[in-house]
Amino acid sequence: MARPARRVGPPQRSRPTAADRPAYDAAVSRPAHLDVLHALGESLLSTRRRLSAPELASAAALGPEAVPSLAALAHEVRLAWCGPAVEVEGILSAKTGGCPEDCHFCSQSSRFDSPVLATPFLDRDEVLAAARETAALGASEFCLVLAVRGPDERTLQRILALVPVIRDETGLDVAVSAGILGDGQAERLAAGGVHRYNHNLETARSHFGRIVTTHTWEEREATCRAVKAAGMQLCCGVLLGTGETDEQRLELIGELADLGPTEVPMNFLDPRPGTPLAGRSPLDGLEAIRWIALFRLGLPDVILRYAGGRELTLGELQALGLTAGINALIVGNYLTTLGRAPADDLAMLEALRMPIGALGAAI
């Protein structure tokens, strides 16, 4: 009798039935970070309550695998608290370099051997030409930036002469960044039509002395408070990547929440040649997205603006920041570094179906 042919290949199994399948193990299938984020979302979205410091720290403690979920929650928070519009702004370095201060990240300090050339205050026509270019991009805000410790009387008068001309010729809201303000200067700028004043904290109080020694964190804070007291909107930015710890970034978010700015520009260190921070590595891109999301969770109602260093730090991840809490852009070049082409940023917003609009009045 012939022997039955031997079967080759893997042994046949009968189809598994429902009874054969392992029971759903929620602890394995559902990452624990979703529970943390769900609880934070309940506060921020359902009850519209700001997070406490320990709650924000619980989000910061999540690992890198949680970044996409963290970013998704931050985007929902931004939409719920600020709406869908993205604010576009142009900035102009109206007086570059030669600054007596020693901010260790800044190539405009006269104390460092950096390749930035000091230039005097631009004239009226140069400023107006830049403002018109900004308006043509659909921007709503134009910021005049001066590399000074603070404005002397002559500088203040030049600013006050330019503000109404820019506003009337272009329809743009005019912001100014001119350093530490002295007695009565905030009131004069407010009376002169300055809509928003920029003065960055840059970093946490506990880290500030390691990156600036010629003025104090408290002097910066005092100017920020004077800006608000005078009735201008406060734009108060940060710089990540100067050697601060996660705890100091959380400290900084708390300090900003206490100041209550309208706008927070997020800068990422672009190590400039000749400065004391020239040898530092830029922040990792995913880490930058994580902190954009955490700043949004901690500051749900601010205009959170992409500012300097995003091209270097984020590269191809730049669109991701706009779905992780960012709702404003500086377009064109920065003060001493080149930004990418404005058309690329406008195309990115169009691809994301994000409308351009003014935000300050709505938030």
Residue 324 interacts with ligand SF4 (CB under 6 A)?
A: no
- Asked if 307 and 335 count as a contact pair (C-beta separation under 8 A), the reply is no
- Give the pair of three-digit tokens for residue 335: 């003060």
**Residue 178 touching ligand SF4 (CB under 6 A):** no
Beta bridge partner(s), residue 139: none
DSSP labels, 43-77: IIIIS--PPPHHHHHHHHTS-GGGHHHHHHHHHHH
For residues 235 and 303, give the distance between their C-alpha atoms in angstroms, rounded to a whole number.
9
Q: Which C-beta is closer to ligand SF4: that of 93 or that of 134?
A: 93
Q: How far is the CB of 332 from ligand SF4 (least distance, A)?
A: 19
- The verdict on 237 binding ligand SF4 (CB under 6 A) reads no
Under the binding rule (CB under 6 A), the answer on residue 106 touching ligand SF4 is yes
Distance CA 110, CA 118 (A): 8
Name every residue whose Cβ is closer than 8 Å to that of residue 52 and which is 6 or more positions away in sequence: none
One-letter identity of residue 277: L
CA distance 262 to 302: 5
Calculate ∠ Cα 340-343-349, nearest 5°: 100
Closer to ligand SF4 by CB, 244 or 345: give it. Answer: 244
Residue 95: helix, strand or coil by DSSP? Answer: strand
Does 267 bind ligand SF4 (CB under 6 A)? Our answer is no
Q: How many residues bind ligand SF4 (CB under 6 A)?
A: 8
Shortest separation between residue 329's beta carbon and ligand SF4, angstroms: 21
> C-beta of 261: minimal distance to ligand SF4 in Å?
17
Q: In terms of CB distance, is 147 or 302 closer to ligand SF4?
A: 147
End-to-end CA distance of the chain: 90
Which one of residues 90, 151, 179, 265 is an interface residue with ligand SF4 (CB under 6 A)? Answer: 179
Shortest Cβ 154–ligand SF4 spacing (Å): 18
Please, what is the minimum distance in Å from the beta carbon of residue 115 to ligand SF4?
15
Minimum CB distance to ligand SF4 smaller for 52 or for 213: 213
Q: Is 109 in the site for ligand SF4 (CB under 6 A)?
A: yes
Site string for ligand SF4, 28-57 (x = CB under 6 A): ------------------------------
* Contact between 108 and ligand SF4 per CB under 6 A: yes
In whole angstroms, how close is the CB of 214 to ligand SF4 at the nearest point? 8
DSSP letters spanning 321-355:
HHTTT--EEE-S--SSS----HHHHHHHHHHTT--
DSSP characters over 120-168: -PPPHHHHHHHHHHHHHTT-SEEEEEE-SSS--HHHHHHHHHHHHHHHH
Q: Which parts of 185-245 fold into alpha helices (H)?
A: 185-191, 205-211, 217-229
Could you tell me if 330 and 307 are in contact, meaning their C-beta atoms sit under 8 angstroms apart? yes
Judged by beta carbon, residue 151 or residue 342, the one nearer ligand SF4 is: 151
Smallest distance from the beta carbon of 108 to ligand SF4, in angstroms? 4
The one segment of 50-58, 106-114, 164-172, 307-315 that binds ligand SF4 by CB under 6 A: 106-114
The footprint of ligand SF4 on residues 74-103 (CB under 6 A) is 99, 101, 103
221 touches ligand SF4 by CB under 6 A: no
Q: Give me the residue label for tokens 């590269």.
A: 315
Q: Check binding of 147 to ligand SF4 (CB under 6 A).
A: yes
Report in angstroms how near the CB of residue 177 gets to ligand SF4 at its nearest: 8
Shortest distance in whole angstroms from residue 151 CB to ligand SF4: 12
Q: Which is nearer to ligand SF4, 249 or 272 (CB)?
A: 272
Which residues on neighbouring strands pair with residue 346, listed in sequence order? none
Q: Which residues of this chain interact with ligand SF4, rule CB under 6 A?
A: 99, 101, 103, 106, 108-109, 147, 179
